A and B are shown apart, each in its own frame.
Chain A
Amino acid sequence: MEKVDAFIEIRRNKTAMIGLVLIGLLLLLAIIGPWISPHHPLTPDPINRLKGPSWAHPFGTDSLGRDILSRVIYGSRISIIIGLIAVSISLVPGAILGLLSGFYGRRVDEPIMRLMDIMLAFPAILLAIFITAILGPSLLNTMIAVGIVYIPHYARIVRSSVLSLKEQLFVQAVRSLGGGNLRIIALHIFPNTIPPIIVYATLGMGTAVLQAAALGFLGLGAQPPTPEWGAMLSEGRQYIQNAPHVAAFPGVAIFTLVLGFNLFGDGLRDVLDPSLR
């Protein structure tokens, strides 16, 4: 019953729906990309380099004459996958740490949360740079770096909901019926932490996409010729005076995807977890 209500409410929420449409459009592009992109994203065409938008190349061409529209379309795959993997990398350990820390209290809580505090002492992009420094710059390492950076955020969110959940009557009831700790955590507490996790993970997708693009832009993420949006922007930077379109379109794509996740996340939050506002 409750689930149905939430669905209806989300469908009524304009913000969430606009966000969902934006995400849906880019997801569709990512899936059917190979069939609709007018050119191959990696094929150079030296005669037509740095050409502005035209019928043949709606987004123009880059410094090697590659079609920017096709590269942006392929880039949507990369960015969505980066987002999904990075969020999973932060979510799974983050949720486990948050559950343990909130449920078992002091002895477990202190060391975990202090470690999280230490990670939070670094500005996010610098911690990502730090991890990239250890792992080396690559697309995979970008996902790992961005994923690790946001573990503390999930740990904190899950921990705070566990803290209030474990005092509730239904948990005490299960305990008095002889339910063990593991059972209580897995079957009774964890399911109730899912709504805030969904909200935060949706917003986190936007953040992850943005951070990964930032690393790509700095030259610490995806390496050429991968059509990653951030890396494409970085290349466009060199031609900003004569060919601003090279940087403009990948940026619009990043913005659209991140905006979609932020809108959808905001809407979800209003419906699923008003306390997070």
Chain B
Amino acid sequence: MTQFISRRLFHLIFILIGVSILVFLMLRLIPGDPAHLLLGEFASPQDVARIREQLGLDGSYPFQYWIYLKNLFGGDMGISIRSNLPVSQEIFDRFLATVELSVVAMFISSFIGIMAGVISSVRKYSIFDYGSMVMALAGISMPIFWLGLMLMYLFAVKLGVLPMMGRFTMGMDYHPITGLVTLDSLFKGDMVLFLNSLKHLILPAFTLATIPMAIIARMTRSSMLEVMSKDYIRTARAKGLSYHRVIFQHALKNAFLPILTVIGLNFGLLLGGAVLTETIFSWPGLGRYVVDSLLARDYPAVQGCILFFAVIMVIVNLIVDILYFYLDPRLRIDGKG
């Protein structure tokens, strides 16, 4: 176990170094001088020198990278060109909005995806099976930025039952504790704000959940079908166990490993999807921030966000690996992974 985790950690550190080098190189690979790009053609040499220093562009590359790393470990990701605030601060402020959205989307996609997959596999070739698999294929092919807009039109514009954008209605009284509006309002017992923020979450979370939901449903179905053909399922049935018990305790438990991997891998899709979903629903998260920063050529902010996203992804993958190790006794006996 320790050997497995230490190997994964070594791998993780290696990946993180690689990721940091790539992100570090970003500014240096942009054709032309980034300082000139930011300030325009007619900038004074003093201004250019100041921005170059602020961006950490002075000195040799290895030296610059060393400074970059040293700053990173101190939690310093540079200063945003637009707001003049530390990038780490800007990222932290927005990250929780993205977490709230992604976690809710992950629950929606896992729950509906697994349910649809299980029912499809149990009722193979039924109308439900065909229907949900057609839906799943459509879900994978769906441009979610289009789906989001159409849902917005239907539920917010036409029917008027759900809000169009934002995390809660503007002007409502909100004092962050954790930064997750739904949780904070629940802690404070502010049911009005809680319901309001929940309503704001429905459309973006559902939009974001679409593709992972479809992938999870397909994976669950094929994984369940494989397990259901095994002898121990027949034995369990022959012992006289109830159908539901066999499905949920025997089959789903064994089919769960590949499903878990897919859920873990989908986290990357969720983070990526957040970029689009947040743009559509004006959700004040990190995904929208990175796009806005790029359009405004706020390079330190873009670098910080991309590094941050990659780190989150690497950590989630590590967690999935470790969970996998725990859930599959065969890996534990081998002592490897």
Q: Which residues from chain A sit less than 8 Å from chain B, CB to CB?
A: 114-115, 117-118, 121-126, 129-130, 132-134, 206, 210, 213-214, 217-220, 230, 233, 236-237, 240-241, 244, 247-248, 250-252, 254-255, 258-259, 262-263, 266, 277
- Kindly provide the distance from the CB of A227 to the nearest chain B CB, expressed in whole angstroms: 16
Once bound together, how far apart are the Cα atoms of A255 and B310, in whole Å? 29
Binds A, one of B117-125, B287-295, B323-331: B287-295
Once bound together, how far apart are the Cα atoms of A252 and B138, in whole Å? 11
Q: Is the interface of A mostly helix, strand, loop or mixed?
A: helix
Interface centre among A117, A130, A206, A237 (most CB of B within 10 A): A130
The reply to whether A123 and B145 contact each other, CB–CB distance below 8 Å, is no
Interface centre among A218, A248, A250, A252 (most CB of B within 10 A): A218
Binds A, one of B15-23, B68-76, B200-208, B227-235: B15-23
The reply to whether B29 and A214 contact each other, CB–CB distance below 8 Å, is no
The reply to whether A251 and B146 contact each other, CB–CB distance below 8 Å, is yes
Contact with A along B132-145 (1 / 0, CB 8 A): 00000110111101
On chain A, the residues within 8 Å of B145 by CB distance are 213-214, 217, 230, 233
- Kindly provide the distance from the CB of A41 to the nearest chain B CB, expressed in whole angstroms: 20
On chain A, the residues within 8 Å of B299 by CB distance are 133
Q: Is the interface of B mostly helix, strand, loop or mixed?
A: helix
Residue of A nearest to B12 (CB): A121
On chain B, the residues within 8 Å of A251 by CB distance are 143, 146-147, 149-150
Interface centre among A210, A220, A250, A266 (most CB of B within 10 A): A210
Q: B213 near A: Cβ within 8 Å?
A: no
Residue of B nearest to A219 (CB): B295
Once bound together, how far apart are the Cα atoms of A207 and B276, in whole Å? 15
On chain B, the residues within 8 Å of A214 by CB distance are 143, 145, 276
Residue of B nearest to A213 (CB): B143
The reply to whether A122 and B290 contact each other, CB–CB distance below 8 Å, is no
Q: Are A259 and B141 CB-contacts (below 8 A) given A132-B294, A134-B29, A251-B146?
A: yes
- Kindly provide the distance from the CB of B314 to the nearest chain A CB, expressed in whole angstroms: 5
What 9 pairs between A and B have smallest CB-CB spacing?
Answer: A251-B146, A118-B18, A123-B272, A125-B272, A259-B141, A258-B141, A123-B268, A244-B153, A123-B271
- What are 5 inter-chain pairs, A to B, with CB distance below 8 A? A123-B272, A129-B302, A220-B295, A244-B150, A251-B146
The reply to whether B14 and A114 contact each other, CB–CB distance below 8 Å, is yes
Q: Which residues from chain B sit less than 8 Å from chain A, CB to CB?
A: 11, 14-15, 18-19, 22-23, 26, 29-30, 137-138, 140-143, 145-147, 149-150, 152-153, 157, 222, 268-269, 271-273, 275-276, 279-280, 290-291, 294-295, 299, 302, 306, 309-310, 313-314
Residue of B nearest to A220 (CB): B294
Q: Are A121 and B271 CB-contacts (below 8 A) given A220-B291, A263-B137?
A: no
- Kindly provide the distance from the CB of B263 to the nearest chain A CB, expressed in whole angstroms: 15
On chain B, the residues within 8 Å of A237 by CB distance are 149, 280
Residue of A nearest to B145 (CB): A217
The reply to whether A254 and B30 contact each other, CB–CB distance below 8 Å, is no
- Kindly provide the distance from the CB of B166 to the nearest chain A CB, expressed in whole angstroms: 15
- Select B22's contact among A118, A206, A255, beta carbons within 8 Å: A118
The reply to whether B15 and A124 contact each other, CB–CB distance below 8 Å, is no
On chain A, the residues within 8 Å of B11 by CB distance are 117
- Kindly provide the distance from the CB of B101 to the nearest chain A CB, expressed in whole angstroms: 14
- Kindly provide the distance from the CB of A109 to the nearest chain B CB, expressed in whole angstroms: 15
- Select B222's contact among A124, A126, A133, A277, beta carbons within 8 Å: A277
- Kindly provide the distance from the CB of A242 to the nearest chain B CB, expressed in whole angstroms: 9
Q: Are A233 and B149 CB-contacts (below 8 A) given A126-B272, A218-B291, A255-B143?
A: yes
Residue of A nearest to B274 (CB): A123
On chain A, the residues within 8 Å of B314 by CB distance are 121
The reply to whether B29 and A123 contact each other, CB–CB distance below 8 Å, is no
The reply to whether B137 and A262 contact each other, CB–CB distance below 8 Å, is yes
Once bound together, how far apart are the Cα atoms of A138 and B294, in whole Å? 13
The reply to whether B275 and A255 contact each other, CB–CB distance below 8 Å, is no
- Select B279's contact among A132, A218, A254, A258, beta carbons within 8 Å: A218
Residue of A nearest to B140 (CB): A262
Once bound together, how far apart are the Cα atoms of A262 and B140, in whole Å? 8
- Kindly provide the distance from the CB of A158 to the nearest chain B CB, expressed in whole angstroms: 20
Q: Are A129 and B294 CB-contacts (below 8 A) given A123-B313, A214-B276, A237-B280?
A: yes
On chain B, the residues within 8 Å of A129 by CB distance are 275, 290-291, 294, 302, 306
On chain A, the residues within 8 Å of B153 by CB distance are 240-241, 244
On chain B, the residues within 8 Å of A244 by CB distance are 149-150, 153, 157
- Select A259's contact among B30, B137, B268, B279, beta carbons within 8 Å: B137
Once bound together, how far apart are the Cα atoms of A129 and B303, in whole Å? 11
Q: Are A130 and B26 CB-contacts (below 8 A) given A121-B313, A121-B314, A255-B141?
A: yes
The reply to whether B19 and A241 contact each other, CB–CB distance below 8 Å, is no
Once bound together, how far apart are the Cα atoms of A220 and B146, in whole Å? 17
The reply to whether A247 and B146 contact each other, CB–CB distance below 8 Å, is yes
Once bound together, how far apart are the Cα atoms of A214 and B147, in whole Å? 12
